[in-house]
A and B are shown apart, each in its own frame.
Chain A
């Protein structure tokens, strides 16, 4: 008897992440420079870590409230107000989650009835489609176009909408493309969303990492706050991936629904991580600013290097990813990534794992030291020159 028969049909049918396969390949090799990492290269700032030590020493080792420590929710609310002019009541409109990932899962499970459709904008973070499916929904993908620099257009939403559409998942700035939509690009999307009465799950985990223009949080657009669940967390800008701490803010009824699931399935986010996050919001601004400046410089560096090599790459406005076209090499995304790894020991992620329209592209994370980036670019140059 195979134990596989115990595994649910839904899980059996889920496609394994394309990233996973690539990880296995890269993990076996030595001297790999990885541009495949979706997290900061910085260690968490010391004062956040030290505050967590202190909390542990003080005996803060028990559960917190389901929705998270009220002090932390107050700080999150104040932070959203300070940065994005948003007003959320910390007692009813904010929930602290185990990473932004769990907040996405909670939000989807809180709103999806079987058969509801959720629009996912590809190329996208690899977890959206499976999470929608696991919540019982049907993901409907939009393939944004390279000629629009992968920017979502209102007519593309119109085309994807059916009577069953319940929600749309937006990620701005976007992983993997680094595409960053400005207020004037978001407003036409908001009109369509309002017209069709959709709910928005707005993943704003990279909001702090936008380099050239001001960031507009989606719920701050007129008429959007009452139909948006804002999702973010501490992983990226605060360099806290391993702490697993995120949050969501939105209308009280929706947050209450998320808390209901959270209290039965997770109880609360880790207490020591909540204490570190509290310190991050209170005294972390300078650290965030320093890391931001460094990412910005490295973005300039990698984008100009990629273009010099002949891998056309538009200027990504946010996050820490460059998404160059590899068309000039005549290789597929998978071939490019695999051969590059084998020949030059540089790991990148093939663009097609983020959606069909990611084919012909690769994702390069520039969250790595200048020295490593420089070496990676030299190796990639050698690799590309052989093929052009």
Chain B
């Protein structure tokens, strides 16, 4: 991929809210060029969507629980882990699925409103799948950093003096 594409992607990966006009100025290109580039990257499914990172812990009336589930599975001939992974990632409760090296096979991140809800999903849906051998569930207690963003309130004020040589 060309340097300009990577630069653009890095920019909007960190801030999907950046207007095309600003991106164009930052990268020294015309607005049309940038719009075209974005359209192309969307079409090629390099850009898959634009989401917002929200600290739900601060939204009082919304309860949200996340669990990371280590899943051991039996891979199937011809399709390896892909088939069972698909069976799992199609569930809307499942927010992420990764094939892992090491002690277990799939790392599955599950989101729900309560622990009971997640427990229900794991015992009824996930662990009952034929190819699933075992599951180990870890509930997330606190999020410190997510996708490169620190979620703690810290003093990010500019500490520089106003004018310096």
Binding site for B on A (CB under 8 A): 17, 19, 22-23, 26-27, 32, 34, 36-39, 41, 125-127, 175, 293, 297-298, 300-301, 304-305, 347, 349, 368, 370, 374
Contact = CB atoms under 8 A, between A and B. Distances in A.
B2 interface: no
B25 A305 contact: yes
Nearest 3 CB-CB pairs, A to B? A36-B163, A297-B26, A23-B163
Contacts of B158: 34, 41, 368
B22 to A, nearest CB: 7
Interface string B84-100: 00000000000000000
A19 B10 CA distance: 36
Interface string B19-49: 0001001111000000000000000000000
A93 B7 CA distance: 39
Nearest to B159: A43
B22 A301 contact: yes
A17 B26 contact: no
B162 A36 contact: yes
Listed residue (B7, B158, B164) with the most chain A CB atoms within 10 angstroms of its CB: B164
B113 to A, nearest CB: 35
B80 interface: no
A233 to B, nearest CB: 14
Nearest to A25: B163
A350 B161 CA distance: 17
B164 A37 contact: yes
Contacts of B164: 19, 23, 36-39
B129 interface: no
Nearest to B29: A300
B165 A34 contact: no
5 contacts: A27-B161, A34-B160, A37-B164, A175-B165, A301-B25
Contacts of A374: 22
A298 B162 contact: no
Given A27-B163, A34-B160, 18 more contacts: A19-B165, A23-B162, A26-B162, A27-B162, A37-B160, A38-B164, A39-B164, A126-B165, A127-B165, A297-B26, A298-B26, A300-B25, A300-B28, A301-B22, A304-B28, A349-B163, A368-B158, A374-B22
B162 A32 contact: yes
Listed residue (B7, B26, B158, B161) with the most chain A CB atoms within 10 angstroms of its CB: B26
B151 interface: no
Interface residues of B, number: 16
B27 A34 contact: no
B25 A37 contact: no
B27 A23 contact: no
A34 B27 CA distance: 23
Contacts of B11: 297
Contact of A37 (B7, B18, B27, B162): B162
A304 B158 CA distance: 25
A196 to B, nearest CB: 30
A127 B165 CA distance: 8
A374 B161 CA distance: 20
B19 to A, nearest CB: 10
A195 B165 CA distance: 33
Interface string B104-132: 00000000000000000000000000000
Contacts of A126: 165
B112 to A, nearest CB: 34
A142 to B, nearest CB: 20
Given A23-B161, A34-B162, A37-B161, A300 B7 contact: no
Interface string B126-146: 000000000000000000000
A154 B129 CA distance: 80
Nearest to A21: B163
Contact of B163 (A19, A301, A368): A19
